[in-house]
Structure 1
């Protein structure tokens, strides 16, 4: 009886042909991206209704699948890599980033322990240390790669919780004589502090939103008062989450002053530098990292400002062993995989399976070098300041926040006083619906403002000028 042939994988020559087709598709997509709408003009469900409700019974050719990507998926996307995409932080990938992702996929390793992939473990360690050096952090800070800053903040606060209430990882928080913990962050900060408090059993209501000053930075005197008030009410102040580059306006909290309070109060200091942290790579922006050496943990997102494709976030902890002690838990099946003296990144978080994320960062950072990264960051800031200068020259608009990084918040003010907020929202909605550009809006001091984020390497001055003229015309047509 003949052995039955295994279905196996796509034959090598066919796979090679498909790779060439895909390479052409990627190159064509990037070359022609400006011909696409930035955002679709579709109602919810428009993509889903075109897709089969039942899973496929038989396989289909790759050519048909790729054609459906073009026909169904691409038209239903917001194109974050479009040069006229100016929303959020305007991030984009780069050609080296795409190549890094392509290399990573066929390797398909699980980077959970040194033994499961020595190269992945050791490269991650090297890449993390490269970034540490660029950021100017002391070498006592060790790091680990996660997907997003929200996950990094949760892990950092878990270490803070364990430090304040030893054995919580084993005993939990219930049926123990423990105080209620409180966490402090700016009223401009990301919601990650609340989400972490929910996940860690601290509670959303125990996250205190500290008012910000007229430059949208945490008010130090108010922080002191809130901590003192909580102590009077039998709370134990646990941590401050300070921000370098807030989500709305890219403001920077006064880190040295906050660090001093944390030292005095014996509190954990976490710095959320997800967006703004990497700007310290520029000598003229060293000011953003003042006081970092006094932090307990810091998170930076290279997928926001260092041109790494989503997702790639790095958490640094002073004495990384503190993080490992909270999360190390080796399943029986992996006990033979651990080697004393070697780092096993599964011990530094809740994940067991881990992607080989470091490879794409390694490819990009080698391709660009520090000089190439800094050059691109400077261009973002130049464009932001250029836009700010245009806004100042048009008396129908005003800046809504100081411009220090690649984010510009501004406001259309030539409308009836009661209609200004609605008018600003309407401008954003009309532009986004047109497909010609994409902006976001936010609230600052309760006022609706327009917001442009300049982080896309494909966005040139000509694109920004087009967007500004579109904003002006849309405002005139209201």
Structure 2
């Protein structure tokens, strides 16, 4: 069992290993090559009766666990959206783990609450979020979106559902067919039923058609439903499609409907003034979420949730048992009232470390580099006779496919599925796919913290050779 002396010794070894890991990360296959059952088959079926040496535990980590890990921090990771880290973020996370604080209210760690408040205040002007808004740090966008939609539910029903439960309320929620699956899950969890999630038609850019949204709201009103909330995506998961926030906001204001903006990934681009247009009309919205743990170089989990009316949020979630009553209540922000969980990690610390280490200029430079690499990649695809862009790229995501002249769409789908499987099996890069208007497309996401142009060139060379 580790004691103070051995903890110090092993911790120093671990830090050296961590530094070596980042230095040599490209030596590992990006996507784990493990097969189902490989890992659990190498581990004992029952826990040890007596404690084992840390040396043995770490040996098993290296020999069994590590080969089963996909390396999200590899600069050759171009799949999904990144789940980024960075050196300052790792150090902040180490200190968070060391402090081991449960930061549910101001009293349990004043610095955690006040640093969280400061991070919200730092980000608002940088991202063109209205100064009158406030916010907090949640674990994931799924949780923040759930908080937004529950708040919308309670505000629309004068907080009656929290008190008395669902009766015959026929609440309706709206989003596009391209919106993240967390919206479907949130509507299920909050009790409205997924049948009451209305999927609105999209245009050629896969963005919500405002006229269709208003038509559906009016139809629901005529049918006795109660329009409750709209989720507008600023950067859908498949293609980074951007819904028109301004036009949707006007419709929501007209019909007294909560507007939640899901900018989980693309929201980081709001750190660049030239992309503030993405949320034009945000003053007509009620809430917005973005994930620094995706593209802003901060360890998972760290989700920033901005809200126009903090009182509605608090009224929705506050519960005050005797053991949580404090003399500072009302004078400070007790963030356990700002969402679902009571327990809260000190997530603001790593975000603070990242912003101070990179500086705003450093973050902006890195983001612009990623966008520039994506533009270069798109140019290579467009200039190749055997590849094609499937939808106009935005930011640092390029959706494309291999098309050597086949006419049959099903054959093209099979060909591209085989191509992405080959890329991932090589261990040299990791890409994922989506379907765009029925077409199977590969997604090239260029957003890992330390990615360089040489890594993008390497991926393009690999894709061409395998194709």
TM-score for the superposition, normalised by structure 1:
0.95
The structural deviation recorded for 1:416 is 4.7
Partner SS state of residue 341, structure 2: coil
Aligned residue number for residue 111 of structure 1: 103
Aligned residue number for residue 262 of structure 1: 252
Aligned residue number for residue 339 of structure 1: 329
Partner SS state of residue 50, structure 2: coil
Residues 71, 235 of structure 1: alpha-carbon distance in 2 compared, 3 angstrom cutoff:
same
The structural deviation recorded for 1:205 is 1.2
Displaced runs of 4 or more, over 4 A: none
The structural deviation recorded for 1:90 is 2.8
Correspondent of 2:156 among 164, 168, 174: 164
The structural deviation recorded for 1:339 is 3.0
1:149 aligned onto 2:156: no
The structural deviation recorded for 1:160 is 0.6
Alignment of 1:19-38 (within 5 A): 19-38=11-30
Aligned counterparts of 1:260 and 1:416: Cα–Cα separation in 2: 43
Superposition RMSD in Å: 1.4
Aligned residue number for residue 396 of structure 2: 406
Contact 1:169 1:326 in 2 (8 A): no
1:356 aligned onto 2:356: no
Post-superposition Cα deviations, 1:188-247, rounded to whole Å, max 9, x if no partner, equal 110122111101111111111112111111111211221122122211111110011110
Partner SS state of residue 77, structure 2: coil
Correspondent of 2:127 among 107, 122, 135: 135
Contact 2:295 2:449 in 1 (8 A): no
Aligned counterparts of 2:275 and 2:166: Cα–Cα separation in 1: 45
Post-superposition Cα deviations, 1:156-176, rounded to whole Å, max 9, x if no partner, equal 11111111101335434433x
The structural deviation recorded for 1:328 is 0.5
Correspondent of 1:211 among 182, 186, 201: 201
Post-superposition Cα deviations, 1:422-447, rounded to whole Å, max 9, x if no partner, equal 11111011111121110000011111
Instruction: Give the stretch that moved more between structures: 131-140 or 191-200.
Output: 131-140
Partner SS state of residue 107, structure 2: coil
Post-superposition Cα deviations, 1:35-87, rounded to whole Å, max 9, x if no partner, equal 11111222211001111110121112222222221111111111111111110
1:282 aligned onto 2:272: yes
Correspondent of 2:233 among 243, 249, 259: 243
Aligned counterparts of 1:471 and 1:261: Cα–Cα separation in 2: 44
The structural deviation recorded for 1:388 is 0.3
Aligned counterparts of 1:353 and 1:198: Cα–Cα separation in 2: 23
Post-superposition Cα deviations, 1:375-396, rounded to whole Å, max 9, x if no partner, equal 1110110011000000001111
Contact 1:89 1:407 in 2 (8 A): no
1:454 aligned onto 2:446: yes
Instruction: Give the stretch that moved more between structures: 341-350 or 20-29.
Output: 341-350
Aligned residue number for residue 4 of structure 1: none
Aligned counterparts of 2:317 and 2:285: Cα–Cα separation in 1: 21
Aligned counterparts of 1:139 and 1:131: Cα–Cα separation in 2: 10
Correspondent of 1:75 among 51, 67, 71: 67
Aligned counterparts of 1:385 and 1:337: Cα–Cα separation in 2: 55
The structural deviation recorded for 1:13 is 2.4
Contact 1:186 1:209 in 2 (8 A): yes
Correspondent of 1:52 among 25, 44, 49: 44
Aligned counterparts of 1:174 and 1:345: Cα–Cα separation in 2: 27
The structural deviation recorded for 1:337 is 6.6
Gaps of 5+ in 2: none
1:299 aligned onto 2:289: yes
Post-superposition Cα deviations, 1:399-456, rounded to whole Å, max 9, x if no partner, equal 1111121111001122351400111111011111121110000011111100011110
Instruction: Give the stretch that moved more between structures: 325-334 or 100-109.
Output: 325-334
Aligned residue number for residue 435 of structure 1: 427
Partner SS state of residue 378, structure 2: helix
Aligned residue number for residue 459 of structure 2: 467
Aligned counterparts of 1:144 and 1:457: Cα–Cα separation in 2: 24
Partner SS state of residue 188, structure 1: coil
Aligned counterparts of 2:60 and 2:328: Cα–Cα separation in 1: 44
TM-score for the superposition, normalised by structure 2:
0.97
Gaps of 5+ in 1: 1-8
Contact 1:146 1:314 in 2 (8 A): yes
Aligned counterparts of 2:84 and 2:193: Cα–Cα separation in 1: 35
Aligned residue number for residue 118 of structure 2: 126
Aligned counterparts of 2:79 and 2:330: Cα–Cα separation in 1: 47
